[in-house]
Structure 1
Amino acid sequence: MKNNFLASVLIFFTLLTYSQSYDFKTIIDLEATNVISQGNTGTCWSFSTSSFLESEIIRLTGQKIDLSEMYNVRHTYLNKSWNYVMRQGKAQFSQGGLAHDVINSISEHGFVPNSVYSGLLNGNEKHNHSKLEDTLKKTLDLYIKEPKTFDWKKRTHDILDTFLGENVESFDYEGTQYTPLSFMKKVKIDPKNYITLTSFSHKPNYINFILNIPDNFSNGTFFNVPIDELTNIVNNALEKGFTIELDCDVSEKTFSAKHGLAIIPVDGVNIENALVNLSKEKEVTQEFRQQEFENYNTTDDHLMHITGLLKDQNGTTYYKVKNSWGKNSKRVNYGGYIYMSEAYFKLKTISITLHKNALTKKILKILRKA
């Protein structure tokens, strides 16, 4: 009888433990601009990187500036079109891109405030690039099929003018005239200061390599580190006041914008319950991470912006991640942010981009020798 009573008590407290709702404590919360929506576009890479650069401007100058996402989308479409034509159509042409595409764009073309170039014409209030992408691709395919029949570069510019607006050469901002490059210099952004890191075991650690994922049309390089070290770099950066650009997989059912949560519960756990109540998560190793990448369970889906760090009542670490799907969340106080567990980050991260000054001394030393 006594044993039955003890067993009942044990079961009760076990169920109580697993039915605790999430209770988060903010540890680090760095300043960022407002959450906005990318609309019906695949340009999360520009929205997230623009948000990241906006936080960099706040960190460097104290100014809060809403940058134009579409200005750099326009220039990236031009680069993407060149790549597609030169490869005679044997390359991916889509709305997707990566953080370094924005860094490449601002290196050559600078950036502008959203008030100068919104990419919204004819009274439109939401972005929709379905027709833009389709028109561009059909035009490029036509040229590839019948080369020399028309000037594809001019036609591409004309299409972008029609859908996004004409390019900006100079503009007035708060009574001063700027070019996009001089404006970038004014807010102290230097593209050379940013680096992208990843963590995969099919390449040696501490080298730069081209990561073969579909959206890496520009053949950008990634500096490879062990996953535990990548996590340490993020934690160290946040502690030093630096935010981080994040590229990751969001295809998991346990990534929920509705619940504002991203977790990796152990097998057999009810997912809906896990998104509401604390659940045990999987241990993520380098081997498990690599396996999930090679079998396509981890893919290059979405880019977002890490702006803070939290802990739940059990001391588990979560990252405060700014999304670009608007403020639609069941947990309204999240305001369009995702609280991503460290386990989810370790398993599902493709890469991060951050300022070199945010790196650990160890990585900086290796980079200087590279």
Structure 2
Amino acid sequence: MKHDQTGTQDAWARYGWLMGAIWLVFLFYPITALVTSNASLPLLVLGWCGVLGFAAAYLSGFIIGMRESGTGTQRVTLLIFWAALGCALLTTPAIAWAALSFLPFLMSYASYILSRPWHWALNVLGPVVVTGYVIAAGVSALSQPWGLMWIVYMIAIVNSINSWLIRRSARADELRFELATSEERESVARDVHDLLGHSLTVIKLKAELAARLVDQDPARARAELDEIVRLSSEAIAGVRGTVTGLRAESLAEQLLASGDALASAGIALEVRGSVASLSPAQSIPAAWILREATTNVLRHSAASRVRVELSPGTLIIDDNGRGVAEAESATGSGLRGMGERAAAAGAELVVQAASPRGTRVSLTW
């Protein structure tokens, strides 16, 4: 069913009609009936025109239905269905009951090209019509319709199973797309939170400092205002880079930025170890964790000192501020974002109370 297959691949759209073309070999039955028919020449000509017209309509419907979608296409394929049905009826005067051999084609067309209601209508009506004819004609008088009846039942079952599988596959594709979209939104939201949260916190601190210095030390106040302009530009560039998926600040750059931000708040930064202790792949998430940890220190800790320790596969950030209870370590969008980044990088993040006071953030691979 074309418009139910939202996840259909381009290859299926281009070559799916071949399935309909292959099924045309079963026109052998009405063709054989025409060849062996004793009908008059005009009726035979009418029958052959019906077979050729049916084949053309059936194949055209598959080509159009597989390659295009939309309300206009649905109307066209439905008109083609009625044309094919009309062509099949043209063979009835010449081949009588053998015209029922067109039913499997019409049932499959309804299943794969038309809507779901049409699928159920044709795949229920088809077996009912053939069964009714077999019963009405008498099983002893005509044995060949029995074979057609079983074929129609088999086609109805196969079409129903395939339709269910197609709809299930399409729904699975929709869910995968929705999940990927949701994950992408969360990733962008996390990146923007980390970037703006840190940058706006530093800008706020520098603005407060500039306000205090504007009368006492105008030159230094001006320097702080210039720094606010620079940080604002960096934040804008960072958001743009995040949206385009291109931002990846190095750990060394983040250490310098964190030191500057902490210094503006009167917090000393001590660094132990080298950024070379972490691999390039580890440095990127480590830089994000350090950025968020610095933001948290500036916002919540009231600390006077922060120590960053770097060793192979490990980043530790300690402060001597108020501290954080382990029960609270999983709350808050910042800490949650840190945990998500760590998990995505294959690392373990632990946020706990430091000794004798403060907070410890450890990132370990």
Higher RCO (Cα < 8 Å, 6 or more apart): 1
TM-score of the aligned structures, taking structure 2 as reference length? 0.21
Structure richer in strand, relative to its length: 1
TM-score of the aligned structures, taking structure 1 as reference length? 0.20
